[in-house]
Amino acid sequence: MELLLAASLPIKHPTLLDHSRTILSAFIWAGSFIVGSAVFAQSTDSTSTSRLISTGQIEAARSALEAENPSEADRVFFEARVLKAQRRLPEAIKVFRQVLQIDPNYINARRELAHTLLLNRDYSPAQYHFDALLLVDQNDQMRDGYRRFLNVIDQNKPIGFSGYFSLLPSTNVNRGTTNTVFDTTLGQFVIDPNSQAESGVGAQLGVSGYFRHLTSPTSRIALNWSLSGTKYEEKRYNSAVGNTALSYEQITGSGRWFLSSYYRKTWREDNAGNDARGLRFGLTHRLNDQNQISFSLSHEYRDYAIQDYQDGTFSSASASISHQINPSLSISGGLGFERGSPEADHLQYNSSKLFLGLAKSWEGGLQTSFGFEYGQRDYVGVYPLTTSARYDDFYKISIGVQHSRIDVRGFTPQLSCSHTINQSNVAFFDYDATECQATISKNF
């Protein structure tokens, strides 16, 4: 499968890996890992020896090695590095393993073995050795690199599976109003307490996975699936969602595009469950090393089990541009549009929004994000018992925090929080909500 080629190998045709920014960043980190740059140094593995190997001066490198009084493991390790530099990856893998048979604690050999397995697209054994390195190597910079390589593996291996558990504290689980009365053409009515804001803490458990198959060096098809369930103390807020999607992805010289068909099934205790079938298209195009534009379109039909008046189509579109200010800071912004077309006129709407995002990676492994949205929804039909159509203004602020160096046997935590304000001329939909999601996840 022509999916993964190293930056140090000759490339005649672009590959999925070669045009992925995430993977590219991993190989940038690996400048000292890939043959052709300085390789990790043991006592007998000097930078000069590495440079000689990378430039093809093998005999000169061998002489330099012998001058350093090498051990048997050092000599075998040298031969493995030469094979790797010559792009003879299967042979290099075999010899790196011989080094570990001689000296199981030879950490440079394990690093090089893991990376060579990755270059050779042997994802499962590469993942095993990077996981092992996370357990024994206390060098924080190297550990960050191992995690980046594990992300590369997760994005490119043909079969993957992951799971997560989240706590979901919210000040307004049901998006209930803060108002107590509703003015209608028949007079003023007291709003039922069940329609007013109610706080709560939910628990969510989810699993997901994928199957991928390359159709060419620059394209692949993928089957993705997920299943999640959410439970609250108040049963009527409980729900479960299942997703399946079949997609085709194509890598171009400056980005990627994909087309996906999907099916989503939602079960809800409040009888608002529905099925959704749709198509999604996405396009990403790099303008240069710092700037990238993205477009997305989706269209689906929603079929409600009981609430037939909500049956109908839903469409969305967005366009954004992102700018990499420096290697640790990026900014993005764009426009989004939605159109809901259920059977009931008063539920049909058009929506538009502006959004802005910032992402920052801090020294030490901390990663933070900030987002802001402002938008409007204009409804078509007159809302029942009123003389006008509903319209909303909405605002949302969100933050996210995670730490790349917090990793307990593959389990990683993440925290995200948001505050939403929805201002509506219909009292039922005038609300605000603050909610968070504290998640622990693991890739298998």
235-284 pLDDT, tens digit per residue, is 999 999 999 999 999 988 889 999 999 999 999 998 899 999 999 999 99
Please, what sign has the CA dihedral across residues 8, 136, 109, 122? negative
How many beta carbons lie within 10 A of that of residue 406, not counting itself? 12
Buried/exposed 184-214: b ≥16 CB within 10 Å, e otherwise: eeeeeeebeeeebbbebebebebebebebeb
Range in 35-44, 103-112, 388-397 the model is least confident about? 35-44
pLDDT at 22: 37
Separation CA 404–CA 414 (nearest Å):
10
pLDDT at 390: 95
Judged on CB neighbours under 10 Å (0-12, 13-18, 19+), 33 is buried
* Averaged pLDDT for residues 52-59: 79
- State percent of the chain over pLDDT 70: 89
pLDDT in tens, 102-133: 998 899 999 999 999 999 988 889 988 998 89
pLDDT at 432: 95
Average pLDDT, the chain: 86
The end-to-end CA distance of the chain, in Å, is 21
Chain center to CA of 169? 23
Q: Which residue has the higher pLDDT, 37 or 434?
A: 434
How many beta carbons lie within 10 A of that of residue 177, not counting itself? 22
How many beta carbons lie within 10 A of that of residue 394, not counting itself? 19
Extract the tokens encoding 188.
Answer: 């003023």
- The vertex-123 CA angle with 34 and 128, nearest 5°, equals 90
Closest CA to 182 of 390, 426, 431: 426
Closest CA to 334 of 380, 292, 389: 292
Range in 5-14, 103-112, 228-237, 373-382 the model is least confident about? 5-14
Separation CA 245–CA 250 (nearest Å):
16
Extract the tokens encoding 131.
Answer: 């996981």
pLDDT at 47: 62
Extract the tokens encoding 1.
Answer: 């499968």
Closest CA to 120 of 280, 1, 25, 275: 1
C-alpha distance from residue 365 to each of 4, 131, 142, 256, 403 (Å): 26, 18, 12, 29, 5
pLDDT at 246: 98
Closest CA to 343 of 313, 314, 312, 305: 312
Domains of the chain: 21-156 (1.25.40.10), 159-443 (2.40.160.40)
pLDDT in tens, 180-217: 888 888 878 888 877 788 999 999 999 999 999 989 88
* Averaged pLDDT for residues 56-60: 82
* Averaged pLDDT for residues 93-101: 93
pLDDT at 58: 83
Chain center to CA of 38? 31
